[in-house]
Amino acid sequence: MSRIFGIDLGTTNSLIAVMEGDKARVIADPDTHDALLPSVVAIAPDGRVYVGKEAIALEPRLSREEQGRVSAVGFPGGEAGAVIRSVKRYMGLGGDEVAEQERRRYAFADVSGPVVRFKIGKRVYTAPQISAEILRALKLRAEKALGEKVERVVITVPAYFNDGQRQATKDAGRLAGLEVVRLVNEPTAASLAYGLNQLAEGKVAVYDLGGGTFDISILNIKGGVFEVLATNGDTHLGGDDIDQALVDWLLEGTAETLKADRHVWNSARHVAEEAKKRLSAVEETELVLELPGGVVRKTLSRAELERLAEPLVNRTLERCAMALRDAGLARGGVEAVVLVGGATRMPLVRRRVAELFGREPLCSLDPDHVVALGAAVQAGVLMGTQRDMLLLDVVPLSLGIETVGGVMERLIHRNTTIPTSVTEKFTTAVDNQTHVDIHVLQGEREMAKDCRSLARFKLGPLAPSPAGFPRIAVTFLIDANGILNVSARDERTGREHSVDVKPSYGLTDEEIERMLEEAIDLGEMDVEERLLIVARNDAHQILSALAKQLGEWGHLASAEERAAFEQASARLEAASQGTDRELISRLVEELNEMTTPFAERIMDAAIKQALEKKSIEELS
């Protein structure tokens, strides 16, 4: 069985690490000896791909030629090729979730689509495709350094990543030819790297200030089990923002046209970033930026850098205070503070973090390496070489119940860490329903018939009542052993029924893989079928309600109104037998608008009728 490697797929830099004996080590590039691979991908107009420093060299910037002239070089974007930074920010996002400033930075194929797609040259690329290039480069690096195949990996993700973002990360691994054995939360990995799993019990704060994002996580560690108590952060706050402040300071006084030029800006950012790094070790440094027609030369002190960076650092501390409050802890209520991310090398950051948490942060490990090292430790757990901790499992496929029209309603989504518990409220679909069938399902398809049936049971008897009146709470609870308990409770009567099922019993890895591939391949068709059923359900509901109202309150509608209602109802009834979802939805909306005045008269009459039966004393 091949070894499992740990990968930190970072916003700014990425790394790969492995367990050797009882120690984790980062695998450096055997040619350059660089441990960090910049998470930068350049794609030429002809489709050639460059990763890391090779990609950075192709960013639009200013370059001095042999004749001494300063000129613009690099891929400017779009048809002429592009350089993508911080692709992690786009993982799992829809086109409509891309911020306005990001749309100006890159050319996108379709900002209204369900997935972010970059338009580069004559091709279109998704975020997982670009991330896969970074993972592929790490894979090749490790194979060249160690002389063995890299096939199985653990990849770290931010604790706040949702199911879509986590799945996009796994998709990137698959595209890179890797089996993603497990996704691990970055703060958990950082804690493992410091051996904090050996704490008998305690609270740990993980302060992660990377290039493009900031995350703070409060963990509870007990008996080697990690539990996330609270997370907070800012996906658009990081070391890059400090660089931006430095660039503004460096270009102060230059022409606005120069400031807006991407070649000038990128050159200034490179100069600023290098100066920031130097000031972690020295008190003062010089910045030199060559521009067309002149040179900008300035001296920057550490004190001035800290003045520029302090508002940004204060924003991270506000997030830390919020996370502590959410975890129910005082400022001195953690036993350890772990620093992650290159920006935490700044003396200002370390000083202010120590002041906030009331203790010196752990920083003996390289903050750029700590997450990758922890991922390698987790890989060791999965290989059986590290046995002193519990690695909480995840749900391999979504779990839910069948609802009206044969639709699969998910309660626990795939990749949710267990143990977990979810409760949702449901109701009846027809009048005087005395029992409710609970059909427990597993899978990623939209329709119940396409998912795997796990269990069925009945809840009842229910007191006869109109459709939509009962309140039924359905709870899915999965324990640490993967045992699923499903319970349904009638909130009016307190009557309850439950059943235990094993959600992955009888499913091989190949079957799970097949179900996932079907969900991907048939996803669009499934969604359309689900939306059609929802539209038909809406039509049935409004037609039933109208028929009932006309039976009880028909005298409140004029003959002309009744005729119009009957014509509109007939059109909707006919449409609901077909497959034109948009037509059904439009006719439902038209009938709803048409009957609104009638419904208002019914409400007025019902209130008047209720008041007539009350005495003055009862109303006062």
pLDDT band at 121 (very low <50, low <70, confident <90, very high): confident
* Catalytic option among 88, 139, 170, 203: 88
Judge if 409 and 376 occupy the same domain: no
pLDDT tens digits for range 348-360: 999 999 999 999 9
Residue finishing a domain among 507, 542, 577: 507
Is the predicted pLDDT of residue 79 greater than 90, yes or no?
no
Lowest mean pLDDT among 93-97, 293-297, 401-405: 93-97
* pLDDT value of residue 199: 67
Give the Cβ contact number of residue 530 at 10 Å: 18
pLDDT band at 502 (very low <50, low <70, confident <90, very high): very low
Is the predicted pLDDT of residue 506 greater than 50, yes or no?
no
CATH number at residue 551: 1.20.1270.10
Q: What percent of the chain has pLDDT over 70?
A: 86
* pLDDT value of residue 287: 92
DSSP collapsed to 3 states, 397-452:
CCEEEEECCCEEEEEECCCCECCEEEEEEECCCCCCCCCEEEEEEECCCCEHHHCE
Lowest mean pLDDT among 109-113, 133-137, 343-347, 599-603: 109-113
Residue finishing a domain among 342, 358, 386: 386
Is the predicted pLDDT of residue 31 greater than 60, yes or no?
yes
* pLDDT value of residue 613: 58
CATH number at residue 442: 2.60.34.10
Phi then psi dihedrals of residue 270, to 5 deg: -65, -45
Phi then psi dihedrals of residue 190, to 5 deg: -60, -40
As a whole number of angstroms, the distance between CA 584 and CA 9 comes to 46
Range 287-303 average pLDDT: 88
Whether 316 is in a domain gets the answer no
CATH number at residue 42: 3.30.420.40
- Is there a catalytic annotation at residue 97? no
Judge if 474 and 570 occupy the same domain: no
Which of 391-400, 530-539, 567-576 ranks highest by mean pLDDT? 567-576
Range 547-554 average pLDDT: 84
Judge if 48 and 167 occupy the same domain: yes
Judge if 532 and 482 occupy the same domain: no
Whether 339 is in a domain gets the answer no
pLDDT band at 507 (very low <50, low <70, confident <90, very high): very low
pLDDT tens digits for range 251-271: 988 888 777 777 788 888 889
Whether 199 is in a domain gets the answer no
Judge if 479 and 561 occupy the same domain: no
H runs (alpha helix) in 147-294: 163-175, 186-193, 239-250, 256-260, 262-278
Whether 140 is in a domain gets the answer yes
* Catalytic option among 186, 234, 368, 446: 186
Judge if 144 and 17 occupy the same domain: yes
Judge if 3 and 26 occupy the same domain: yes
Q: What percent of the chain has pLDDT over 90?
A: 27
CATH number at residue 269: 3.90.640.10
- Is there a catalytic annotation at residue 509? no
Mind giving me the DSSP string for 5-37? EEEEE-SSEEEEEEEETTEEEEPPPTTT--S-E
State the pTM of this model.
0.63
Is the predicted pLDDT of residue 508 greater than 50, yes or no?
no
Lowest mean pLDDT among 217-226, 263-272, 307-316: 217-226
- Whether residue 38 is preceded by a cis peptide bond, meaning omega within 30 degrees of 0, is no
pLDDT band at 163 (very low <50, low <70, confident <90, very high): low
* Catalytic option among 8, 29, 240, 526: 8
- Is there a catalytic annotation at residue 8? yes
Residue range(s) defining the domain that contains residue 286: 239-308
Whether 219 is in a domain gets the answer no
List the structure tokens of 236.
């658009």
Whether 343 is in a domain gets the answer no
Q: Which is more confident, 50 or 164?
A: 50
Q: E strands, 451-586, where?
A: 452-459, 472-478, 484-490, 496-501
pLDDT band at 504 (very low <50, low <70, confident <90, very high): very low
List the structure tokens of 69.
């002239």
Judge if 450 and 492 occupy the same domain: yes
- Is there a catalytic annotation at residue 612? no
Judge if 433 and 493 occupy the same domain: yes
Judge if 22 and 131 occupy the same domain: yes
CA distances from 201 to 329, 333, 353, 554 (A): 15, 13, 22, 69
Lowest mean pLDDT among 389-403, 449-463, 588-602: 389-403
Q: Which is more confident, 261 or 479?
A: 261
Is the predicted pLDDT of residue 312 greater than 50, yes or no?
yes
Mind giving me the DSSP string for 192-229? HHTTGGG-SEEEEEEEEE-SS-EEEEEEEEETTEEEEE
* pLDDT value of residue 391: 47
Whether 201 is in a domain gets the answer no
* Catalytic option among 29, 133, 208, 529: 208
Is the predicted pLDDT of residue 144 greater than 90, yes or no?
yes
Is the predicted pLDDT of residue 74 greater than 70, yes or no?
no
Whether 517 is in a domain gets the answer no
* pLDDT value of residue 179: 93
As a whole number of angstroms, the distance between CA 207 and CA 564 comes to 65
Judge if 157 and 32 occupy the same domain: yes
Name the residue among 85, 120, 59 with its Cα closest to residue 262. Answer: 59
Q: Which is more confident, 405 or 160?
A: 405
Residue finishing a domain among 286, 308, 330: 308
Judge if 533 and 603 occupy the same domain: yes
How many structural domains comprise the chain? 4
User: What average pLDDT does the chain have?
Assistant: 82
pLDDT band at 387 (very low <50, low <70, confident <90, very high): low
